[in-house]
Structure 1
Amino acid sequence: MRVLLLFLTFLLAGPLQANPFAPKSDFLPVNQAFVLSQDRLPSGQMRLYFQIKDGYYLYQKRLKFDGIPVDQQPQLPAALNHHDEFFGDSAVYRTELELLLPANATGELRLGWQGCADAGLCYPPQTTVIDLGGQAVSAAPAAPDGGQASDQALASGLQHSSLAWSLLAFFGLGLLLAFTPCSLPMLPILAGLVMGNGASARRGWILAGVYVLSMALVYAALGVVAALLGASLQAWLQQPWLLGSLAGLFVILALPMFGAFELQLPAAVRDRLDRAGQGTRGGNLYGAALLGALSGLLMGPCMTAPLAGALLYIAQSGDVVQGALVLFSLGLGMGVPLLLLVTLGNRYLPRPGSWMNLVKGVFGFVFLAMALYTLRSLLPEPLLLALVGAWLIALAWAAWPALQRLPALRALPLLGALWGGLLLVGAAAGGNDLWQPLQPFTGGGAAPMSSAHDERVITIDNPQDLQRELDAAKARNQWVLVDYYADWCVSCKVMEKQVFARGDVQASLDGVQLLRLDVTADTPASRALLQRYQVPGPPSLIWIGPEGDERRARRITGEIDAAAFLQHWAQIRSQG
């Protein structure tokens, strides 16, 4: 375990030291930074009073008084000038804010407000519903359509739940995430570790347990660091040199499976490991820990609502310890199904023999596939298509002799070789779709981004341009879809091709202003764009109503398919 801790320390020290924008202090929860109280004065007026902590401020323009007539709304006191290098001049309140409502004001007031910290954090918009008889009914992040987004609901649940309940809830979420495309590719890696080395049942449990524990530790560490660094960690994990190194490691792991060479450690290290693991068989714990850490790294950049909710909670509360425990529990939940699949499956395998060479060959191809999976965001699409085609042809060639005794399965390698050939032909013609390799010859299918959609999208990389476009859309009484995008975000590119390029999706968005926020580079401007709506990273879709307010409960975090997107948008339109 000392090796694992040293590895994690080395891994995480780089981005922490390299980022000068990491927060230098904890932030207060929003209800402690801005304490709201109300009371009835002898004159009959309702007094609303904000006590604002030092280092925090409220935006004047974010104050809203819905639910009461204009003539009953309070007069706003003079505000202070505040200059921000990204958003320009703003009017803010510090220390305190007193608002007086007339004595004849009745009904329920929906008081909207938003505040920020000088140290660099802006809280999500808040809504407090006040019975003008004198009681505050509720206080929650604004959700005009009556609910909360999945990431927001998880963050709110964490804030109001016990630690034990939070750990249990996120363990259950981890169990569900284990069967998503993000984590399923880890299954063959763990299976290769356990079964590829001929481990006994007991040894297999130990190896798989160390793998899962290592993966969970990395996941927890990445979650805490991601809460501190925002999208910069996600970008760091997608740097070409790191992805190339991981892909190279998978290739090195694959070659011994084909008998190219024996992968051995230096003699001194090997002797020490042999002495430490004397009497055991089927791999060693150090290798299991290393592969678990690599698996955690591969899954770290995946953006899902549970992870986004946990990160939102950590950012708002500053409780890094609880955040680490929650994400560790999430990682354990993701690892347990993998552990059960490979260890229980291992019990029913035949005794060690020649079949193990076949297993090693299978896992060799799996490791090569993982190398392609790791590089998928870096390679040009035609080149990726060609490499996948070559991989399929090589797999078919290797599988043909093994399946000669199984006539019912003989067609599989032939079909694989045929599809691989089609991929090579399509790649030579500039194709980019694994499921439509001959698209360049037919002219059909969905293009990566149709020209009609591309002409409507406005790409933005700084907060000033974003505010200008939002103001213009509000003046036109127009809906806005804000799409957070990055070149290193694989899911963003998938959604470009499979969602936004579809004709029915484009038709449904007719009249909607489409803004793409490019946060590819880790710059102050991109961090400000992410901070604007407290987005942990792309892909994230933000819906802005014609009046200029976000439909927070309908925010989409992570990848979504076209059918779900259309259903989501239809519900938003029906609710207004």
Structure 2
Amino acid sequence: MRALFLFLTLLLAGPLQANPFDVKPDFLPVNQAFVLSHDRQADGQMRLFFQIKQGYYLYQKRLKFDGLPAEQQPQLPPALNHHDEFFGDSAVYRDQLELLIPANAKGQLRLGWQGCADAGLCYPPQTTAIDLGGSVAPAADQASDQALASNLQQGNLAWGLLAFFGLGLLLAFTPCSLPMLPILAGLVLGNGASARRGWLLAGVYVLSMALVYAALGVVAALLGASLQAWLQQPWLLGSLAALFVVLALPMFGAFELQLPAALRDRLDRAGQGTRGGNLYGAALLGALSGLLLGPCMTAPLAGALLYIAQSGDVLQGALVLFSLGLGMGVPLLLLVTLGNRYLPRPGAWMNLVKGVFGFVFLAMALYTLRSLLPQALLLALSGAWLIALAWAAWPALQRMPALRALPLLGALWGGLLLVGAAAGGDDLWQPLRPFAGGSGPAAVQPAEDAFVTVSRPEDLQRELDAAKARGQWVMLDYYADWCVSCKVMEKKVFARADVHTSLAGVHLLRLDVTANTPASQALLQRYQVPGPPSIIWVGPEGDERRARRITGEVDAAAFLQHWTQTRSQG
């Protein structure tokens, strides 16, 4: 999936940036060919320094200092004469370039630049946003989210919509989006909709989800991580879980979900001849899916939010996120509606389907509450769910003896979950871990003991300065109590012994933004992080390795590979 995502990003980056140059594999990445650093001088001036690799050069005329008045523009040093096929005779800089911004310059500087290689490659224009008050968001080291934001800014709307539609197609198959599939399947298949009616129901579902997703993205860009925190409020998650339970009960025949009789009769007369599902229910479930997916931070979403925040173009940002939402919904629409054509006609088997999706809705209720419930209680409820599912499935499989092993296994695993929960366990896949000692690469270590927790910008700066003085690497882990993926990584990644060993000598800082206070917002703005989980690597000299940033949840193997590559590149 990650390979497909990178392929699509590179494929669409050319049209987005209108720079169709052929990047050969023997050329350095732009962030390695032109290494940009910055520091505040003793006299208050901001020093910008480009270290340019041999065989590469920067164009003088491509240097832009947007946000600075003419009197505060830095004086450009003498340049070398150069002739190439891209821009003809030009003034260029080689080896290094130093620029000084006056001490009285305030606000945000948008530094633009472009460079080429002697061997015949010209890189796309680059943009770096620098807060002259001290915090920097280096776009020179562009990772996927920053590159997407830059592409949107430099490209046209049509290509931007196409790019994010394609990214949505990929995101539809990630763990963040897959919970939508049983919801949509339950809506269409569980109501015995015809193929035509299925298309209509699924279309309304996807359209509603995409609209909510776009609205959430715009609000998130305006509020930053505030939206993530708001969507994780206990009352909202509890309400969503209760709604899923209510939706599950009719599937078991507990009652019928119906509108008032007078309104129902009018709707029946208006839609006479239509069967198989309710459009209002489809819209409601689509909106719920958008709400569930809103807090899920991924690189494409981070890139879109970063673009909206930087440009202030809310309309274009909404359209981009709407396109992303449509892309996420199309595979689900095709899977359900096309699959529906090969199912038998509605009949007694539909009661079985309804029962299955009743259990799916109950599972969604547990999924929604996973960040609120104690881990042991979540384990116990999951075990009870499995046992109930096995009990219900046993008589349904009486004519298929070979398949009766499945509910038996489910009941057995559910029992193990209950036993593990009673012993204080918290792992769905290793419920009996409390009864066994751990050793080896996956042995659990107390992750919180390895981190220094920081919740204020001044504390972060103090820790960064101390690490720089020691010449020490720093890892910044953006964390919040309401961030489910943060807790998963804490248990599955940072608690592993091999991860601890790999990070030996690294100063580990946990940036706690749970409270969503002004201090939390300042921590997020320091490196323009859309929300947790995000991992920032800061080198021994004090500069972030922007290209190696991790946005969203990763497993231990991916984390270790990422850190190994970051460390090897220096």
Instruction: Name the counterpart of 2:128.
Output: 141
Instruction: Name the counterpart of 1:197.
Output: 191
2:308 is the counterpart of 1:321: no
CA distance in 2, matches of 1:199, 1:526: 48
Query: What does the per-residue CA deviation read over 1:367-397, in whole Å, with 9 as the maximum and x for residues that have no partner?
Result: 0000000000000000000000000000000
Following superposition, the deviation at residue 264 of structure 1 comes to 1.6
Instruction: Name the counterpart of 1:483.
Output: 477
Asked whether the 8 Å contact 1:60–1:93 carries over to 2, the reply is no
Instruction: Name the counterpart of 2:94.
Output: 107
Following superposition, the deviation at residue 93 of structure 1 comes to 8.5
Instruction: Name the counterpart of 2:72.
Output: 97
Following superposition, the deviation at residue 96 of structure 1 comes to 3.9
Asked whether the 8 Å contact 1:540–1:556 carries over to 2, the reply is yes
The count of corresponding residues between Structure 1 and Structure 2 is 486
Following superposition, the deviation at residue 429 of structure 1 comes to 0.6
CA distance in 1, matches of 2:45, 2:503: 29
Instruction: Name the counterpart of 1:75.
Output: none
Unaligned runs of 5+ in 1: 1-58, 69-91
Query: What does the per-residue CA deviation read over 1:3-42, in whole Å, with 9 as the maximum and x for residues that have no partner?
Result: xxxxxxxxxxxxxxxxxxxxxxxxxxxxxxxxxxxxxxxx
Following superposition, the deviation at residue 145 of structure 1 comes to 11
Alignment match of 2:567 (pick from 552, 558, 573)? 573
Alignment match of 1:260 (pick from 254, 260, 268)? 254
Alignment match of 2:205 (pick from 199, 211, 214)? 211
CA distance in 1, matches of 2:283, 2:264: 16
CA distance in 2, matches of 1:245, 1:114: 53
Alignment match of 2:174 (pick from 180, 204, 208)? 180
Structure 1 residues 289 and 61, CA gap change in structure 2 (3 angstroms): farther
CA distance in 2, matches of 1:196, 1:371: 18
CA distance in 2, matches of 1:104, 1:161: 30
CA distance in 1, matches of 2:149, 2:101: 18
1:105-504 matches, cutoff 5 A:
107-110=94-97, 126=111, 128=113, 139-141=126-128, 147-444=141-438, 450-451=445-446, 453-504=447-498
Structure 1 residues 440 and 96, CA gap change in structure 2 (3 angstroms): farther
CA distance in 2, matches of 1:218, 1:300: 9
AA in 1 matched with 2:213: Y
1:536-575 matches, cutoff 5 A:
536-575=530-569
AA in 1 matched with 2:193: A
Instruction: Name the counterpart of 1:89.
Output: none
Instruction: Name the counterpart of 1:15.
Output: none
CA distance in 2, matches of 1:151, 1:327: 14
Asked whether the 8 Å contact 2:51–2:95 carries over to 1, the reply is yes
CA distance in 1, matches of 2:78, 2:307: 39
Q: Once superposed, what is the RMSD of the aligned Cα atoms? A: 2.8
SS of 1:202's equivalent in the other structure is helix
Following superposition, the deviation at residue 279 of structure 1 comes to 2.1
CA distance in 2, matches of 1:104, 1:227: 40
Structure 1 residues 544 and 410, CA gap change in structure 2 (3 angstroms): same
Structure 1 residues 485 and 94, CA gap change in structure 2 (3 angstroms): farther
Asked whether the 8 Å contact 1:168–1:329 carries over to 2, the reply is yes
Query: What does the per-residue CA deviation read over 1:128-149, in whole Å, with 9 as the maximum and x for residues that have no partner?
Result: 4789xxxx99543389997521
CA distance in 1, matches of 2:163, 2:247: 36
Following superposition, the deviation at residue 322 of structure 1 comes to 1.0
Asked whether the 8 Å contact 1:185–1:370 carries over to 2, the reply is yes
Structure 1 residues 299 and 104, CA gap change in structure 2 (3 angstroms): closer
AA in 1 matched with 2:49: F
Query: What does the per-residue CA deviation read over 1:301-322, in whole Å, with 9 as the maximum and x for residues that have no partner?
Result: 1000000001111111111111
2:39 is the counterpart of 1:64: no
Structure 1 residues 306 and 138, CA gap change in structure 2 (3 angstroms): closer
AA in 1 matched with 2:47: L
Following superposition, the deviation at residue 561 of structure 1 comes to 1.0
Following superposition, the deviation at residue 456 of structure 1 comes to 2.6
Scaled by the length of structure 1, the TM-score of the pair is 0.79
1:22-33 matches, cutoff 5 A:
none
Following superposition, the deviation at residue 408 of structure 1 comes to 2.0
Asked whether the 8 Å contact 1:113–1:127 carries over to 2, the reply is no
Instruction: Name the counterpart of 2:499.
Output: 505
CA distance in 2, matches of 1:357, 1:102: 78
CA distance in 2, matches of 1:420, 1:114: 64
Following superposition, the deviation at residue 522 of structure 1 comes to 1.8
Asked whether the 8 Å contact 1:388–1:423 carries over to 2, the reply is yes
CA distance in 1, matches of 2:566, 2:151: 24
Instruction: Name the counterpart of 2:3.
Output: none
Following superposition, the deviation at residue 263 of structure 1 comes to 1.6
Scaled by the length of structure 2, the TM-score of the pair is 0.80
CA distance in 1, matches of 2:525, 2:139: 22
Asked whether the 8 Å contact 2:478–2:511 carries over to 1, the reply is yes
Following superposition, the deviation at residue 94 of structure 1 comes to 7.6
Structure 1 residues 160 and 403, CA gap change in structure 2 (3 angstroms): same
CA distance in 1, matches of 2:422, 2:160: 52
Structure 1 residues 209 and 111, CA gap change in structure 2 (3 angstroms): farther
Structure 1 residues 552 and 401, CA gap change in structure 2 (3 angstroms): same
CA distance in 1, matches of 2:95, 2:510: 37
Structure 1 residues 365 and 111, CA gap change in structure 2 (3 angstroms): farther
Structure 1 residues 127 and 510, CA gap change in structure 2 (3 angstroms): farther
SS of 1:225's equivalent in the other structure is helix
Following superposition, the deviation at residue 425 of structure 1 comes to 0.3
AA in 2 matched with 1:63: R
CA distance in 2, matches of 1:477, 1:347: 64
CA distance in 1, matches of 2:331, 2:463: 46
Structure 1 residues 261 and 574, CA gap change in structure 2 (3 angstroms): same
CA distance in 2, matches of 1:240, 1:110: 52
CA distance in 2, matches of 1:137, 1:359: 53
Following superposition, the deviation at residue 553 of structure 1 comes to 1.1
Query: What does the per-residue CA deviation read over 1:495-549, in whole Å, with 9 as the maximum and x for residues that have no partner?
Result: 1111111111111111111111111112111111111111110001111111111
Following superposition, the deviation at residue 421 of structure 1 comes to 0.2
Asked whether the 8 Å contact 1:108–1:129 carries over to 2, the reply is no
AA in 1 matched with 2:332: L
SS of 2:297's equivalent in the other structure is coil
CA distance in 1, matches of 2:385, 2:248: 13
CA distance in 2, matches of 1:316, 1:266: 48
* Percent identity of paired positions between Structure 1 and Structure 2: 79
